[in-house]
């Protein structure tokens, strides 16, 4: 079960990295994730059922997610609709798009090829681990290569200080558009991978997934600090695995899995509060030392 949790953590970390590119770099939440994730799953599963190779089916999922992100970014940038409302509008609309693609609420991959079949000779769950590691190596390498280009630096500068970036001639609206498109492409890839691992796609598969992605990011930030960008991407993977292990611990304690999302939200809330608790404890320690002095 530990190997299973690690395998799940590797696949879900693609979602975390996708959310990181907007939530942490651009400093705004994009709720399109809850639509683009099941969209990626629906596109990949449907494409596989039509005889398309799982690799190309996963790439089609990325393109679909990028298109969803493009719609959100246009509503936000050109339509001047707040980013949260833009994400909600697209997320809601994608529900119908997913039903149109699958023609039913859920679609099974029973007896169909999947990405993991290439390593089917390995022990249980190790095929998922290997595929997850390969995908993450490609994703992280491409992202780091992008971030260290002039365009990538302009993108990061937009998130750091938009006004200053604009004063240097950076077209910040284009950077935001690019970021939202990139983010949702990665999130849809995560949906495609998870769907192939689970063996099905579901129209409601995106409900609450943003909590999972944020948990990976927040747990990583709580566990590690003062990291470079490349290190932060790697720690998101570790954070995702730790999150899955925490959920495994909850299940092993015999608690009702019906309330798994409640546990997920509680874990995320505690992780979010932990930095504040640490700061207050550190402040209290400093005050105590001052009094002794």
Q: Where are the domains of the chain?
A: 2-256
pLDDT tens digits, 47-94: 999 999 999 999 999 999 999 999 999 999 999 999 999 999 999 999
**Hey, which bits of the chain come out as E strands?**
106-108, 200-202
Q: Is the pTM of this model over 0.85?
A: yes
CATH fold group of domain 2-256? ABC transporter involved in vitamin B12 uptake, BtuC (1.10.3470)
pLDDT tens digits, 86-102: 999 999 999 999 999 99
What is the average per-residue pLDDT within 30-41?
93
Identify whether the C-beta of residue 29 lies closer than 8 Å to the C-beta of residue 179: no
Distance CA 74, CA 93 (A): 15
Give the phi and the psi of residue 264 in degrees, each rounded to 5: -60, -45
Distance CA 291, CA 218 (A): 34
Identify whether the C-beta of residue 165 lies closer than 8 Å to the C-beta of residue 158: yes
Distance CA 144, CA 21 (A): 12
């Amino acid at each position: 079960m530990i190997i299973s949790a690690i395998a799940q953590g590797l696949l879900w970390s693609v979602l975390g990295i996708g959310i990181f590119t907007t939530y942490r770099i651009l400093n705004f939440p994009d709720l399109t994730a809850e639509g683009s994730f099941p969209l990626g799953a629906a596109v990949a599963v449907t494409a596989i059922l039509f005889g398309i190779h799982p690799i190309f089916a996963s790439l089609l999922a990325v393109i679909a997610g990028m298109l969803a992100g493009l719609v959100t970014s246009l509503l936000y940038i050109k339509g001047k609709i707040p980013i949260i409302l833009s994400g909600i509008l697209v997320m809601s609309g994608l529900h119908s798009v997913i039903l149109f693609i699958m023609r039913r609420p859920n679609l099974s991959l029973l007896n169909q090829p999947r990405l993991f079949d290439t390593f089917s000779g390995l022990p249980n769950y190790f095929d998922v681990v290997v595929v997850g590691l390969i995908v993450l190596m490609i994703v992280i390498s491409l992202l780091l290569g992008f971030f260290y280009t002039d365009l990538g630096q302009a993108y990061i500068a937009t998130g750091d200080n938009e006004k200053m970036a604009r004063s240097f001639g950076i077209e910040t609206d284009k950077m935001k558009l690019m970021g939202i498109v990139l983010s949702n492409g990665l999130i849809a890839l995560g949906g495609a991978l998870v769907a192939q691992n689970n063996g099905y796609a579901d129209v409601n598969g995106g409900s609450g997934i943003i909590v999972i992605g944020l948990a990976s990011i927040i747990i990583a930030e709580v566990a590690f600090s003062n990291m470079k960008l490349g290190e932060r991407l790697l720690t998101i993977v570790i954070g995702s695995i730790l999150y899955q292990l925490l959920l495994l611990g909850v299940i092993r304690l015999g608690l009702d899995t019906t309330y798994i999302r409640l546990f997920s939200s509680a874990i995320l809330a505690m992780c979010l509060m932990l930095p504040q608790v640490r700061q207050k404890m550190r402040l209290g320690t400093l005050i105590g030392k001052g009094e002794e002095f």
